Amino acid sequence: MKKIDVKTALDFHEGMRLDKFLTELLPESGLRQRRRLIENGFVLVNGRPRKTGFKIFSGAEVALLKEDTRSCAAEIASRLAVIAQTDAYAAVFKPDLIHSARVAGSPEPTAEECLNDLLHNSKAILVNRLDMLTSGLLLVAFGAERETMFREYEDAGQVEKFYLARVHGAPERNFTVKNRLDTADRKRTKVLDEEDEPLRWTRAEILNVDGDGTAVLGVRISKGARHQIRAHLAHAGYPIVGDPLYGADGESGRMYLHHRRIAFPGFEAECDPEW
């Protein structure tokens, strides 16, 4: 990595968060993109990596480091598909076993690296992430303003994300998991005993109960957190089939979780799973 741009903070930058200050170097970037760069160590303050909430002080030298140049991998691009696209947003199908975005220190190719070429738009910003083992829809915003608008829709409860999940067990009725989540541990999300705001609830509907001890659930969320559906369903006693982290001990192979539909004002997209 090498420095590609440097900005010295002035008096009026005093107290500004690092993730906001980074717009001085990346004016067209979205908040999630800036935070990812900071979390992955590509932003230095006086030569040291800092956290996203670090408060800038006058005279601080903020350097943006260049990521390793990686082009879209052909084997990744061939497995992605554009499901819906407007001037503002696009929905792209991602199969399982592909990373949505770069993982710090990982050399593996990602779907994010293919978005500009796939969508023929240089302002493509990945708005949501799916776990590598989760298939389904990735939402893309064309420009930081569109990303901000989507976040406003989320905060207003105007976004619906619908997933399909095959789980162990057979629920007798539809249910809602309201527990707050602790995502401080980057590997595993912890389910707390306190109730969260309704926008963070996980609502599960029984679609089919199979004779093998599993069931297919339709799962709705509004604002997702990392591993929200996986952790909430396991907490309710219905872990997702194939989930190596929250499922039955020693599970491996395919994880049966699929982001099937997303809808918000002016945009909607849907795709069926491959299972």
Cβ pair 260, 154 in contact under 8 A:
no
Catalytic residues: 131
> SS3 of 240, please?
strand
Alpha helices in the chain (DSSP H): 18-21, 31-39, 74-77, 115-119, 144-155, 228-235
**What's the gap between Cα 144 and its chain centre?**
16
Strand (E) or helix (H) holding 39: helix 31-39
8 A C-beta contact, residue 92 and residue 80: yes
Please state, as a whole number, how many other Cβ atoms lie within 10 Å of the Cβ of residue 122. 11
Considering only CA atoms, which of 233, 235, 262 is closest in space to residue 163?
262
Hey, what are 147's tokens? 């990303």
Residue 173 C-beta-side C-alpha neighbours within 13 Å: 3
CA distance 103 to 140: 18
Q: Is the dihedral of CA 114, 151, 161, 132 positive or negative?
A: positive
Here the tokens at position 79 are 């497995």
